[in-house]
Amino acid sequence: MQLIDSPLAGVVADQDGRQAGVYDHGAHVFSWQPRGAEHPVLWMSAASMFAPGQPIRGGVPVCFPWFGPGRTGDLAPGHGFARLASWTRTQLLDEDDRLLVTYRLDESQVGDQPNFPHAFTAELTVEFTEKHVDLALEVTNTGDEQFSYEEALHTYLAVGDSREISITGLEGASYLDKVAGTTENTQQGAIRIEAETDRVYDSTVDVTLDDPVWARRLVVSKTNSANTVVWNPWVAKSAAMPDFGDDEWPHMVCIEAANALDEAITLTPGQSHLMSQRITLLDA
């Protein structure tokens, strides 16, 4: 394990075939490839901008205190200010095949936020092992007024070909289709990526991604998360994003633990909420 300062400050472990890394910017997990794995588990865009004030494309962005443009549809920056802030690293432990990193963010670090004028702390704990990576986001209301917020661990998973994968576990779940603009949808069978896909599922269950091209499975499990987001931009949308390569969309899919829209979290003064997500790598 070593501390890095380029292209951004952070922590990286890259030895004996093991890769794991987190940037302080956004408390952003950018790498996980366990020892013996032929391919990385997390996808990163080659076009991503690694600069203060800019979001990082790929890995696991932390979306807080709103998701997308928020429940009102007009909040900026997209997915909230947490992924653009420099978090404070509070713990670092590297032993055997385990790397543990914790981060903290509060209102004093993000400046004036008229769309979220509240006192809070957000703590992200990331634990890398040889079998899985765990992420836990705990938000505490440290002020004297109740507030509500949305959150997501916006996980980009690397795949051999997104057109060949199948995603199971969400059969029968209702979902918002953000591409079609429809709300009354029910998942029928496994999810296949056949066009631009942007869905917010009402589901708390584990999701399995089967990747026949890379002969592996990824299981995404979670706690205290009412929504699962599945996203792939396909051709046109990826071409329109300056930090997303035109030909990169076949190699990623997002499966995200979230509490968004009607499932936003409300905290009274002194109250905390912890949402966690585990990504486990399995053979096919």
Supply the residues annotated as catalytic: 154, 256
Handedness of CA 37, 101, 87, 24 (dihedral sign): negative
Beta carbons within 8 Å of 107's beta carbon, 6+ residues apart: 113, 118, 119, 120
What does the block give as tokens for 129?
């092992």
Other C-beta atoms lying within 10 Å of the C-beta of residue 163: 14
Rounded CA separation 44/62 (Å)? 15
Q: Which two tokens stand for residue 99?
A: 């790397």
Nearest to 12 by CA among 134, 126, 99: 99
Give which of 187, 127, 14, 9 is closest to 1, Cα–Cα: 14
> 105, 244 in Cβ contact below 8 A?
no
Pairwise CA distance, residues 13 & 133, whole Å: 13
> DSSP characters for 65-77?
S-STTTTTT--SS
Determine the Cα–Cα distance for residues 243 and 183; give it in Å rounded to an integer: 29
Contact status, residue 101 vs residue 117, Cβ threshold 8 Å? no
- The helix/strand/coil state of 144 is coil
Cβ-in-10-Å burial (0-12, 13-18, 19+) of 31 comes to buried
What is d(CA 250, CA 235) in angstroms, rounded to the nearest whole number?
9
